[in-house]
Amino acid sequence: MKLNLQSIIRSYGIVIAFVMICAVMAVLSPVFLTVTNVLNVIRQSSIFGIMAIGMTFVILTGGIDLSVGSILAVVGAVSAGMLKGGMELLPVVSLALAIGVSCGLANGVLITVGRIAPFVVTLGMMSIARSLTLIYTTGYPISGFAGTFRFIGGGDILGVPFPIVLFLLTASIAWVILTQTRMGRYTYAIGGNEETVKLSGINADFYKTTVYVISGITAAISALILTSRLNSAEPMAGQGYELDVIAAVVIGGTSLNGGRGSVWGTLVGALLIGVINNGMNLLGIPPYFQLLVKGFIIIGAVLLDRLRED
């Protein structure tokens, strides 16, 4: 292959955008490249980054999951309630994951067996899970937990914050699944041509359901991190997260039509959004302008990625 500028941009467009934005930030703010800040950015990215990894599976099949923010809220609230009620750490974590699985399973079954569009099902689930959270919490935050639980969001292993460890772990597992197992290859295949998958004698509905379960699980993991970190479960936690999550996946080069994309892309996409959020705070950009800048950067990043197409 020839090594010209165009082919480099083609293969690494998003990484280049990422490096460029980081370089600009490093020049503008002396704090940006300090170890504390870098770890801080990654830790903040890890919450929606983990969800974005689950979302990558969903979008690869050509689907969408709008309910992740609400699932995060309901998992956070119930876990917090149980902790307050005196439940041990391990049962709480298991329960949290079980709620994530159930919500995802409900989404998946309605989409495959009920033959309803993913957008509609998960939009409904978004509303239902949010409402359940409000009912459960009666609208008030549940706060103050024991030290062991606080480790999930605040602890570290050999100096690396635990959320980052979870983020990298999730990404690695997802990478193995997507590239090395049938489950993963069928995820791509369904997004590419579902008809063919069915004609090949593969239970496509099973795999389609599974991707929503995976998305539910990653939402539950993020819920534990967020609740632990804030030392509180807010009834409106995770509102609007689905947009950052979907943005991370799309910026990472995964096609919304399905069939094409990667976990590493999503990882970079999530970090990019993290850097933008962090950078704008460091630079003291007023909140009203932050969304504007973010919008432009998201569209710009994907525009750059479009160079691959033609």
Partner 1 sequence: MRMTGISKSFPGVTALKRVDFELSYGEVHALVGENGAGKSTLMKILAGVYRADEGEIWLKNQRVVPKSPKTMIDAGVSVIYQELTLIPYLSVAENIFLGREPLRSNGLIDWSAMWLEVEKLLAPFNLFLNPRSVVHSIGPAFQQVVEIAKALSLKADIIVMDEPTAPLTGSEVARLFEIIRKLKADGVAIAYISHRLEEIHEVADRVTVLRDGERMVTAALSDLTVDEIVSHMVGRKLTEQYPTVEFPAGDELIRVEGLTKKGTCKDVSFSVRSGEILGFAGLVGAGRTEIMQLIYGYRRKDAGRIFLRGREVQLRNTRDAVRCGIALIPEERKKQGLVLGLSVIDNSALSILDLNTSFGFIKWPAIARIVGEMVRSLEIRTPSLYQKVKNLSGGNQQKIVLSKWFARNCDVYIFDEPTRGIDVGAKAEIYKLLLSRARNGAAIILVSSDLPEVMNMATRILVVFGGQIVKEFRRGEATEEQVISCALGLERQSTVEALAAGAHK
Q: Which residues bind partner 1 (CB under 8 A)?
A: 176, 180-182, 185, 188-189, 192-193, 195-202, 259-260
Shortest Cβ 122–partner 1 spacing (Å): 22
Shortest Cβ 169–partner 1 spacing (Å): 18
Nearest to 90 by CA among 279, 238, 188, 224: 224
Closer residue to partner 1 in complex, CB, 36/310: 310
Shortest Cβ 91–partner 1 spacing (Å): 29
Question: Within 13 Å and on the Cβ side, how many CA atoms surround 227?
Answer: 35
Closer residue to partner 1 in complex, CB, 86/195: 195
Closer residue to partner 1 in complex, CB, 117/176: 176
Report d(CA 217, CA 19) in Å as an integer. 31
Q: Give the other-Cβ count within 10 Å of 243's Cβ.
A: 14
Shortest Cβ 310–partner 1 spacing (Å): 9
Closer residue to partner 1 in complex, CB, 30/309: 309
Q: Are 142 and 85 in contact (CB under 8 A)?
A: no
Q: What is the DSSP letter of 266?
A: H
Closer residue to partner 1 in complex, CB, 194/234: 194
Shortest Cβ 299–partner 1 spacing (Å): 23
Helices 89-112 and 147-154: crossing angle in degrees, nearest 10, is 50
Closer residue to partner 1 in complex, CB, 27/182: 182
Shortest Cβ 203–partner 1 spacing (Å): 9
Q: What is the DSSP letter of 259?
A: S
Written as six digits, the tokens of 124 are 């409904």
Which residues sit opposite 160 in a β-bridge?
A: 157
Q: Give the other-Cβ count within 10 Å of 252's Cβ.
A: 28
Q: Is 3 left (phi over 0), alpha (psi -120 to 50) or beta?
A: beta
